[in-house]
Structure 1
């Protein structure tokens, strides 16, 4: 079995969904997560706070430097993630499609290096 990362690609600009729309999206996301659990593909999932809450840690000359805010400015950012365990890329893409329908944002599907036990 391989682990895959399903990344939620979130636009940095634009209006967020209304509270009513967000409630429906979160209901769909909860259903998606439940389906992953029932299929035995669930490993972990979670949403992330905005990039403004990030702290970048850099190693420099044996010391570390902390910088507030995102590492880079961009038109999109990682808004959440889901790690799944499935047998092959086709299965990962099938889950990616379901995630995109539930979340209504683009989903990047990417395999982790190597294999995992179980």
Structure 2
């Protein structure tokens, strides 16, 4: 079954972090991603640019509305994602717990609902 690991951290907290500590977290993603590849569970994943670069699109009363930035003002912002293919939720949770940003923010585990 496929799951998406949504990586949410606070951009404000990251901006105030010691650059060495932040660099260690970023560097930890290489081995983490390689472990997923070696385990044969990685389907895909990407980093996302800062939430300030987002454009939110909605349709209201038949008119397209654009909002610069993310839809919701939250403490944490979506910073990236992985899609993994594992046997069950427990295994997906195990991979989420190994994510370097789990110590800084949160990792939401969501099952993929195939179309």
TM-score of the pair, normalised by structure 1: 0.82
Q: CA deviation at 1:114?
A: 4.6
Aligned length: 112
Unpaired runs of at least 5, structure 2: none
Q: CA deviation at 1:93?
A: 0.9
1:7-46 → structure 2 map (5 Å cutoff): 7-16=6-15, 17-46=17-46
Q: Is residue 57–residue 67 contact of structure 1 (8 Å, CA) maintained in 2?
A: yes
Where does residue 72 of structure 2 map in the other structure?
72
Unpaired runs of at least 5, structure 1: none
Considering fraction of residues, name the structure with more helix.
2
1:1-118 → structure 2 map (5 Å cutoff): 2-16=1-15, 17-99=17-99, 102-103=100-101, 104-105=103-104, 106-114=106-114
Cα RMSD of the aligned pairs, angstroms, is 2.0
| Residues in 2 aligned to 1:15 and 1:94: alpha-carbon distance in whole angstroms | 24
TM-score of the pair, normalised by structure 2: 0.83
* Dislocated runs of 4+, deviation >6 Å: none
| Residues in 1 aligned to 2:9 and 2:26: alpha-carbon distance in whole angstroms | 15
Q: Is residue 6–residue 96 contact of structure 1 (8 Å, CA) maintained in 2?
A: yes
Which one is further off, 25-34 or 8-17? 8-17
Q: CA deviation at 1:59?
A: 2.2
